Each structure stands twice: as C-alpha cells, then as structure tokens.
Amino acid sequence: MAGVDVLYDPVGGAAFMQGVRCVTWGGHCLVIGFASGDIPALPLNLALVKNVTVHGVYWGSYATQAPGVLAKSMGQLVQLAAAGHLRVNVSHAFPLDAAHLAFKAVAERRAVGKVVVVLDASSSGARARTPA
C-alpha cells in the first residue's frame, strides 16, 4: 500500500479524515490542532485496519510536562534551520509601516505560506512583496 508515513494535521475536520486515508499501513497521524473549528471523530476501525497510531501533539504542555524534550526539539530545529535544511515559504513580506496589508493578505486568504512583517526594512532591504 502506498501513502504517507506521517500526517501532520493542524486543521482537523474533513481535512483530517481525508489525510488519515492517505496514511500508509503502520503510519502515524499527528493531531496538532483544529483550525477548521471542527474536531473530527476517527472511526477506530480505520486505525485498526491500517495499524495507524494517532498522536496528540500539544507543544504548550511540553513546557511544564517535559521541558527537556521541548528544549532538545527546539535545538534540533534551530540546527536544521542554520544548516539550510528547512525551507519556509514566505508568501508575502511587508515593512512595518505596511503591516495592515499583512493582516489584509491573511484575512483575504491570499497567503500561501507565511506572511512576514519586517521590523527594520532599512537593514534587510524589505519592501512589500506579493506573489507574482
């Protein structure tokens, strides 16, 4: 059976259910949040038949429950970023004086990736940038 090994789902709802169906046998589903506002109910027969493990991942609780794990994970992420192994899709970038346009891009659902407000446009050469 083909499919993805890990499902990272911050959306929930119907998107989660579609995602679970894409997970390969023995895969993992990471429940990150419910941005859709809909908390899905997973039919456990689907988890059983596909031998899928569902993990709740609430990063905020790591600060009190397992701070060492959080610190180690963040350290690894910083190392990966510093080595250039992570790519962040910046959909739009705006200087601070155009921050209102950043909020507008998000509100109008034009962002695909991150919307960045640059605090010091003089040192970064930032100017309002939108996708071509």
10-25 tens-digit pLDDT: 999 999 999 999 999 9
In this prediction, residue 125 has a pLDDT band, given cuts at 50, 70 and 90, of very low
45-63 tens-digit pLDDT: 989 999 999 999 998 898 8
27 or 125, higher pLDDT: 27
Helix H or strand E segment including 47: helix 44-50
34-43 tens-digit pLDDT: 988 999 999 9
* pTM value surpassing 0.85: no
* Cβ contacts of 56 within 8 Å, gap of 6 or more: 31
Average pLDDT over residues 3-7: 93
The tokens of 70 are what?
């959080």
Reduced to 3 states (helix: H, G, I; strand: E, B; else coil), residue 46 is helix
Residue that the structure tokens 């071509």 belong to: 132
The tokens of 108 are what?
């109008």
> Which whole-number Å values give the CA distances from 106 to 33, 75, 91, 125, in the listed order?
19, 29, 10, 22
What is the rounded distance in angstroms from the CA atom of residue 2 to the CA atom of residue 18?
15
77-102 tens-digit pLDDT: 999 999 999 888 899 999 999 999 99
pLDDT value of residue 6: 95
What is the rounded distance in angstroms from the CA atom of residue 8 to the CA atom of residue 16?
9
Residue 132 has pLDDT above 80, yes or no: no
